[in-house]
Amino acid sequence: GSFPSLTTLMALPGMRDTQTVVKWKFLEHKGPVFAPPYEPLPSNVKFYYDGKVMRLSPEAEEVATFFAKMLDHEYTTKDIFRKNFFKDWRKEMTAEEKAKITDLKKCNFSEMNEFFKAQSEARKAMTKEEKQKIKEDNERILQEYGFCIMDNHRERIANFRIEPPGLFRGRGDHPKMGMLKRRIRPEDIIINCSKDSKHPEPPPGTRWKEVRHDNKVTWLVSWTENIQGSIKYIMLNPSSRIKGEKDWQKYETARRLKKCVDRIRNQYREDWKSKEMRIRQRAVALYFIDKLALRAGNEKEEGETADTVGCCSLRVEHIKLYPENDGQEYVVEFDFLGKDSIRYYNKVPVEKRVFKNLQLFMENKEPDDDLFDRLNTSILNKHLQELMDGLTAKVFRTYNASITLQQQLKELTNAEENIPAKILSYNRANRAVAILCNHQRAPPKTFEKSMQNLQTKIDAKREQLSDAKRELKSAKADAKVRKDEKSKKSKKAVQRIEEQLMKLEVQATDREENKQIALGTSKLNYLDPRISVAWCKKWGIPVEKIYNKTQREKFAWAIDMADEDFEF
C-alpha cells in the first residue's frame, strides 16, 4: 500500500521549499479561536491611586489587571518592565485618567492581585463535575476548530487558539519586557483557505483583514504581533501528514528488509570465509548489528569526554571470548558504554566461524586497539546501501523490534483473558523489545514508595473482598423470601471487587517487571504502530490503553489506517 494521504505534491523533507511547490488543492477550516473578551472586575475589587479609590475605564482596567496578576513576580520590580508597562498602559487611559495617574509607584493593585489569587484557588477547588464540564467544552472546541480538511484528509491544527493579551516577558533582560501584547482582533487576521471551500466566518459584527487563497504555503491563519512586528501563523500539527509520512516510510523500509533479510544473512555468512580481512570484519560487524541490534557507532563525534562506542568502533577491551561458558560453546561477552553512556552488557553464544574470526581480529592487539581495524561507519553504511536501498543499522533495529513485538504479541496474548491481563501481555511484549534494544533505566526514585502504596491498596481490596464474600454467604442463608434479590446484589458486588483486585494485581506485576526498563523509546521509535493498532482492533482493546494522547497524535496515520489483519 501507499501512505494514505500522499495525494498532493506536498513538500517533503529535503525538498526545497520554493514558491512553485503546490502544497494543497483544497483547504477548509473554521479560522482561529479568539481569547475570551475582557470581563470587568466586580465593583468590590478596588484600585487605589495615591491611597484613594479610583474607578478605571474598562480599557485601562484590563491592562492594569495584567500587571496586577504578575505582582508576585520578580518582573514587576524591574525598571525596564515597569517603564515599558507604564508607557503602554497610559496609551489605554482616558484623558482624565492620564492626567491623574502619573506615577506607577502610587498605584495600588493589591486588591486586584488578591482577587485573581482567589480565582485561581477556586479553580483548583472545583468539583469533579465542574472540571468535567470544562473538559467537555474544550473537547467540543477542539473538534470544531482543531481540525482542517486538507485535500481529502482531516488534519489536526497545532495552535488554533490565539494567545490572550498580556504583558510581554521575553527572555532574560529583554528591552521590550513589560510592553502590552495587544489583543488580536478579527481585523488583524489574514485567512488562507481554498476558493472553493466554505470560508471561515468572522465573529458577528467583525470582518477579516483579508481572505487569500495561497496554496504554496501551509498556514491557515496569520497576523502580525505588535511587540516585535513578527508574523505569526496557525499551522498544521507536526503530527500530521509530513511527519506521519516520514514515520510511515521508516517502517516500510523495515518491511522491505524483512523480504530480503535471508539473502543478506546468507551473504554475510559467505563473507565470514572471505580471503580479504576487510570483508570478514564487515561481515562479522553486520552479524552483530543483525543479531544484537547494535548501533553502527560514531556517526557523529559524541563529544570528547564521553567514551561511547558502537559496533564499528568496538575495541579489543570491550569483548571477551570464551570457547566454553556455562555449558555453551563460543560465547562472547560484551561490555561497553553505548549511546548516551548506557552500559551494554551481554553474554551470547555465536557461530563458530564468528568466534574464530574474532580470535583472528584480536591477535597481536592491545586492549585499546580497534577490534575492526579495517572498518569504519562510512564503509559499513556504504555496504548496507548496496545490500538494500535505504538500509542502515537502524533499519535492522526497527525490523527486529517490530517483528519481535509481533511475534511476542501472538505468543503472549491469551484469548480467554480479560482486558487488563491482555494489556499486561502487551507491555510484556514491549518489554521484550526494550531489552533487545538495551533500553534500560535506573529504577525511579519513587519506585519503592509507589509499590508500597499499590500494595496497601491491594491489601485493602482483599479485605473488602472477604467482607463481600461473607455478606454473600449470609445473604444466601437469609430468609427465603428476600433471598433472590439480596444474594444477586451481593454476588455482583463480589464480582466487581474481584475484578478491581485483579486490575490492581496486574498493575503491580507490570510495575515490578518494568522497574529497570524504559518502554517509551522503543514504543516511539522502533515499533511499527500498525502492529499495536491491529492488535488492539483484534482484541477489542481501546487504543487509549496502549498510547497516550501525544502518542496517539504521533501515530494518527497508523490508527486511521491499520486493520486487524495487518502483518508487519
Q: Nearest CA to 33 among 201, 195, 238?
A: 201
From 103-111, 122-130, 147-155, 236-244, span contacting ligand NAG (CB under 6 A): 103-111
Q: Does 505 bind ligand NAG (CB under 6 A)?
A: no
Among 90, 185, 269, 291, binds ligand NAG (CB under 6 A): 291
Query: Please, which residue, 494 or 566, has the CB nearer to ligand NAG?
Result: 566
Hey, which residues are catalytic here? 526
Query: Please, which residue, 222 or 239, has the CB nearer to ligand NAG?
Result: 222
Query: Please, which residue, 37 or 51, has the CB nearer to ligand NAG?
Result: 51
Minimum Å distance from CB 551 to ligand NAG? 6
Burial code (b: 16+ CB inside 10 Å, e: under 16) for 24-45 equals bebbbbbbbbbeeeeeebeeeb
3-class DSSP assignment, residue 472 = helix
Minimum Å distance from CB 493 to ligand NAG? 33
Place of cell 497545532: 158
C-alpha cell at 396: 535492522
Instruction: Write the binding mask 33 to 72 for ligand NAG: x where contact by CB under 6 A, - elsewhere.
Output: ---------------x------------------------
Minimum Å distance from CB 487 to ligand NAG? 43
C-alpha cell at 313: 568502533
Residues 73-92 that bind ligand NAG (CB under 6 A): none
Report whether 522 contacts 394 (CB < 8 A).
no
Q: CA geometry: angle at 99 spanning 87 and 80, to 5°?
A: 20
Q: CA geometry: angle at 524 spanning 521 and 527, to 5°?
A: 100
Q: Does 312 bind ligand NAG (CB under 6 A)?
A: no
Residues 516-555 that bind ligand NAG (CB under 6 A): 520, 524, 548-551
From 124-132, 375-383, 472-480, 488-496, span contacting ligand NAG (CB under 6 A): 375-383
Q: CA geometry: angle at 364 spanning 360 and 365, to 5°?
A: 95
Q: Does 222 bind ligand NAG (CB under 6 A)?
A: yes
Query: Please, which residue, 452 or 550, has the CB nearer to ligand NAG?
Result: 550
Cα 172 from Cα 176, distance rounded (Å): 11
Q: Nearest CA to 185 among 157, 168, 162?
A: 162
Q: Does 437 bind ligand NAG (CB under 6 A)?
A: no
Q: Does 322 bind ligand NAG (CB under 6 A)?
A: no
CB-CB neighbours of 114 under 10 Å? 13
Minimum Å distance from CB 355 to ligand NAG? 16
Minimum Å distance from CB 485 to ligand NAG? 44
103 Cβ neighbours under 8 A, 6+ residues apart: none
Instruction: Write the binding mask 202 to 221 for ligand NAG: x where contact by CB under 6 A, - elsewhere.
Output: ------------x--x----
Three-class HEC string of 315-336: EHHHEEEEEEECCEEEEEEEEE
Report whether 41 contacts 112 (CB < 8 A).
yes
Query: Please, which residue, 214 or 317, has the CB nearer to ligand NAG?
Result: 214
Specify the DSSP element, H or E, that contains 468. helix 447-477
Among 94, 110, 206, 228, binds ligand NAG (CB under 6 A): 110
Query: Please, which residue, 6 or 158, has the CB nearer to ligand NAG?
Result: 158
Q: Does 378 bind ligand NAG (CB under 6 A)?
A: yes
416 Cβ neighbours under 8 A, 6+ residues apart: none
Cα 338 from Cα 315, distance rounded (Å): 12
Cα 117 from Cα 113, distance rounded (Å): 6
Report whether 525 contacts 500 (CB < 8 A).
no
Instruction: Write the binding mask 417 to 436 for ligand NAG: x where contact by CB under 6 A, - elsewhere.
Output: -------------------x
From 6-14, 138-146, 372-380, 460-468, span contacting ligand NAG (CB under 6 A): 372-380
Minimum Å distance from CB 41 to ligand NAG? 13
C-alpha cell at 353: 566461524
Minimum Å distance from CB 418 to ligand NAG? 24
Q: What are phi and psi of 210, to 5 degrees?
A: -165, 150
Among 403, 472, 543, 546, binds ligand NAG (CB under 6 A): 403
Q: Does 127 bind ligand NAG (CB under 6 A)?
A: no
Q: CA geometry: angle at 42 spanning 164 and 165, to 5°?
A: 10
Q: What are phi and psi of 292, to 5 degrees?
A: -110, 0
Query: Please, which residue, 185 or 291, has the CB nearer to ligand NAG?
Result: 291
From 105-113, 134-142, 481-489, 560-568, span contacting ligand NAG (CB under 6 A): 105-113
C-alpha cell at 118: 482567589
Q: List C-alpha distances in Å: 108 to 45, 50, 53.
A: 12, 8, 9
Q: Nearest CA to 289 among 382, 407, 405, 380?
A: 380
Query: Please, which residue, 267 or 550, has the CB nearer to ligand NAG?
Result: 550
- Burial status of residue 340 (CB atoms within 10 A of its CB: 0-12, 13-18, 19 or more): exposed
Number of residues that bind ligand NAG (CB under 6 A): 26
Query: Please, which residue, 272 or 490, has the CB nearer to ligand NAG?
Result: 272
Report whether 130 contacts 122 (CB < 8 A).
no
Q: Does 239 bind ligand NAG (CB under 6 A)?
A: no
Minimum Å distance from CB 287 to ligand NAG? 10
Minimum Å distance from CB 436 to ligand NAG? 5
Taking each helix axis from N to C end, the angle separating 480-513 and 419-436, rounded to the nearest 10 degrees, works out to 10
Minimum Å distance from CB 39 to ligand NAG? 21
Query: Please, which residue, 299 or 505, has the CB nearer to ligand NAG?
Result: 299
Among 60, 68, 177, 190, binds ligand NAG (CB under 6 A): 190
Minimum Å distance from CB 520 to ligand NAG? 3
Binding site for ligand NAG (CB under 6 A): 48, 108, 110-111, 190, 214, 217, 222, 224, 231, 291-293, 376, 378-379, 400, 403-404, 436, 520, 524, 548-551
